[in-house]
Amino acid sequence: MCRFLAWVGAERYLDELVMNQEQSLVEQSRNALIGKTSINADGFGLAWYSNRVEPCFYKDTNPAWSDANLRQLAHHTQSGLFLAHVRASTGTATSRNNCHPFGYGRWSFMHNGQAGGHERIRQKLDSMIPPHLYQHRFGATESEAIFLIAHGEGLEVDPIGAMLRAVERVEALSRTQRALPYMRFAACWSDGKRLFAARYASDSYAPSLHYRNSEFGIIVSSEPLDANQDSWTEIPANTAIESDGNDVVVHPFLPSAPPCQVSAA
């Protein structure tokens, strides 16, 4: 399991959220309060949008708390839309290629969760990636695969529906292995204008996901960044949200009856 946060709204320095909060993302890399993995120190990543259409990525394999470059970049970079992630590997190597967020064109994506039996389904997962996107398959995580499969499902024109179909397809593959949990999925993705987030699980343990709405913009975060719980809204399971920094639009995010269900819990 991992931790992440994202911002869409007015331009602000990244370190205001990544570092200078009671339960900032860097604090979560040492001491996550929700979930069973308190240490998230198998790499980290940032994606932010500025003047170019494509986002800028900074990712590395150190723990977030000790990376001197991360402190510098987060302190000096301003953006109106950014994603930040700290990783706790569920098996694949600690490698920059496995660090979130992932990118393709204008899109960025980050994930907290897993697909059951990932090691056994990985080859089939790789074969599900559209051929013209395989050159963007750099690492070995199911997260990156889901992102590229979602592109094949039409992420560009249907950002929530395409992601839903990608999750459905990977969950179906996972079910063929009968390895629980089939799918745990909390994710954020963006095209540089809108921020999308979704929370789902094939069982009753959807990874935590919250957001806070203010006049300046919206924060989405695995955990509330402070103890003022009232200001944070938990995103319910099977739900996606979408925001351009002003309003928050809520969508259902519920994969259809598992297409290849073998016999689930």
Residues binding a second copy (CB under 8 A): 30, 39, 41-42, 50-52, 56-63, 66, 68-69, 72-73, 75-78, 89, 93-97, 119-120, 122-123, 126-127, 129, 131, 134-135, 137-138, 140
- In terms of CB distance, is 158 or 193 closer to a second copy? 193
Look at strands 102-104 and 107-115 and give their pairing.
Answer: antiparallel
Q: CB 96 → a second copy: shortest distance, Å? A: 7
Question: In this structure, what are the phi and psi dihedrals at residue 254, rounded to the nearest 5 degrees?
Answer: -130, 105
* Beta strand pairing call for 239-243 and 210-213: unpaired
Q: Between 63 and 255, whose beta carbon lies closer to a second copy?
A: 63
Q: Token pair for residue 7?
A: 């911002």
First to last CA, the chain: 21
Q: Smallest distance, Å, CB 68 to a second copy?
A: 7
Burial of 227 (0-12, 13-18, 19+ CB in 10 A): exposed
Kindly tell me which of 62 and 231 has the beta carbon lying closer to a second copy.
Answer: 62
In the three-class reduction of DSSP (H, G, I as helix; E, B as strand; rest coil), residue 158 is classed as coil
Shortest spacing between CB 97 and a second copy, in angstroms: 6
To a second copy, the closest distance from the beta carbon of 47 in angstroms equals 9
- Torsions phi, psi for 162 (to 5 deg): -70, -40
Q: Using the minimum distance from each CB to a second copy, give the nearer residue, 120 or 212.
A: 120
